Chain A
């Protein structure tokens, strides 16, 4: 038995009908579609399906739930790739750094900053929370948090640079204070966290284990 998979027909196109319904077509084309629709059973059936789609959406995803879901997705920064040796921890995992921590410009030792914008790495381990000191080894299981001082920069990219690979940890708006997500570094040897601000500043933080 042969079966046709379909495709556009003579004057028939589901997308054109969608655009017609959304008011996206120029007036002349819109008039042509309206006229075609009157005599075309296939397109009339497609229009019935479009109307059914509206009812299906309202029944399954009412607006309030939809808006809440979209807002929740917007609050997250899309991950660019799978994490390798840096494991993200839930933001609610117990690191509360946003309040009460005063940031200092990190421009000594392993912390190299250019421009006014800078970043600092905080560590939470068995001893509590402290700023990572230059040359300090990162303990196994320690939770790391990058905290930003954007100084006018609106965007930032935070990257983990390891000998074999580079992982983007965060890309998005630069807001003062810690990134929304904490990390655990599971690699060994050394690596660098590179923080580049859209406005030109950058900070590199060395990790050792």
Chain B
């Protein structure tokens, strides 16, 4: 069986000293993780990056990070949430580096509709609007609108207070409204729909 070098005992943050005790393990562990978590991670990367090759790369990067922090991954209250957050943050960083052009993308979403009365795809709209929001609000918006965690669950996951989560969501919505007004004036978010 193919051998894969796995690093245990590190943490996932990029500024972490990283691996401490290199160990060898067989591909069985990776096969298990692939079956259980890779579908969701790949879907998340494709959704955020809109590019199959970039998504494949991000998928592998996410699992490399997870394996470097295997102990933390295993110990997470929800390994699914943990690894999806790694993937989401990796992709959001990629998007920021690309300086995603949300204005053009919103206009394209508007053009892709079959008729003026048809709303744009909700999830696509969220994805494009992420690029118009500040970095701190982006992950909170993904956790709320894509993963559909409640605000309390988001607070717990991020170690933030409920008012902070609410503030981030309001920031996202304010930027989203502004972006829509600029690029897609026929579409608006309902007022008084603050999370």
Q: What is the CA–CA distance of A180 and B128 in the complex, to the nearest angstrom?
A: 39
Instruction: Closest B residue to A16 by CB, please name it.
Output: B148
9 closest A-B pairs by CB:
A73-B64, A69-B60, A53-B39, A15-B147, A8-B148, A13-B148, A53-B43, A54-B39, A57-B39
Within 8 A of A (CB), among B94-148: 117, 119-120, 122-123, 125-126, 129, 143-148
Does residue B40 face the partner (Cβ distance < 8 Å to A)?
A: yes
Q: Report whether B80 and A5 are in contact in the complex, using a CB–CB cutoff of 8 Å.
A: no
Q: Report whether A74 and B122 are in contact in the complex, using a CB–CB cutoff of 8 Å.
A: no
Q: Report whether B186 and A1 are in contact in the complex, using a CB–CB cutoff of 8 Å.
A: yes
Q: Report whether A61 and B59 are in contact in the complex, using a CB–CB cutoff of 8 Å.
A: yes
Give the residues in chain B near A9, CB-CB below 8 Å: 148
- Which of these, A3, A22, A73, A78, contacts B120 with CB under 8 Å? A3
Q: What is the CA–CA distance of A198 and B9 in the complex, to the nearest angstrom?
A: 14
Q: What is the CA–CA distance of A56 and B59 in the complex, to the nearest angstrom?
A: 13
Instruction: Closest A residue to B55 by CB, please name it.
Output: A60
Does residue B91 face the partner (Cβ distance < 8 Å to A)?
A: no
Q: Report whether A1 and B60 are in contact in the complex, using a CB–CB cutoff of 8 Å.
A: no
- Which of these, B31, B37, B52, B188, contacts A60 with CB under 8 Å? B52
Q: What is the CA–CA distance of A195 and B189 in the complex, to the nearest angstrom?
A: 54
Instruction: Closest B residue to A51 by CB, please name it.
Output: B39
Give the residues in chain B near A72, CB-CB below 8 Å: 60
Chain B proximity mask over A9-43: 1 for CB below 8 Å, otherwise 0: 10011111011001010000000000000000000
Q: Report whether A57 and B176 are in contact in the complex, using a CB–CB cutoff of 8 Å.
A: no
Q: Report whether A67 and B2 are in contact in the complex, using a CB–CB cutoff of 8 Å.
A: yes
Given contacts A15-B149, A80-B15, 7 further A-B contacts (CB under 8 A): A1-B187, A4-B122, A6-B145, A18-B80, A19-B78, A57-B42, A70-B30
Q: How far is the CB of B25 from chain A (nearest CB, A)?
A: 11
Does residue B68 face the partner (Cβ distance < 8 Å to A)?
A: yes
Give the residues in chain A near B36, CB-CB below 8 Å: 22
Does residue A157 face the partner (Cβ distance < 8 Å to B)?
A: yes
Q: Report whether A74 and B5 are in contact in the complex, using a CB–CB cutoff of 8 Å.
A: yes
Q: Report whether B188 and A1 are in contact in the complex, using a CB–CB cutoff of 8 Å.
A: yes
Q: Residues of A with Cβ closer than 8 Å to B?
A: 1-9, 12-16, 18-19, 22, 24, 50, 53-54, 56-57, 60-61, 63, 66-67, 69-75, 77-78, 80, 154-155, 157, 171-173, 198
Q: What is the CA–CA distance of A8 and B119 in the complex, to the nearest angstrom?
A: 20
Q: Report whether B125 and A56 are in contact in the complex, using a CB–CB cutoff of 8 Å.
A: no
Q: Report whether B64 and A70 are in contact in the complex, using a CB–CB cutoff of 8 Å.
A: yes
Instruction: Closest B residue to A13 by CB, please name it.
Output: B148
With contacts A5-B126, A5-B176, A67-B27 known, is A53 near B40, CB below 8 A? yes
Residue in A69, A70, A80, A171 whose Cβ sees the most chain B Cβ within 10 Å: A70
With contacts A22-B37, A60-B56 known, is A13 near B149, CB below 8 A? yes
Does residue B81 face the partner (Cβ distance < 8 Å to A)?
A: yes
With contacts A13-B148, A15-B148, A198-B17 known, is A74 near B68, CB below 8 A? yes
Give the residues in chain A near B80, CB-CB below 8 Å: 15, 18-19, 22, 24
Q: Report whether A56 and B39 are in contact in the complex, using a CB–CB cutoff of 8 Å.
A: yes
Q: Report whether B42 and A24 are in contact in the complex, using a CB–CB cutoff of 8 Å.
A: no
Q: How far is the CB of B60 from chain A (nearest CB, A)?
A: 4
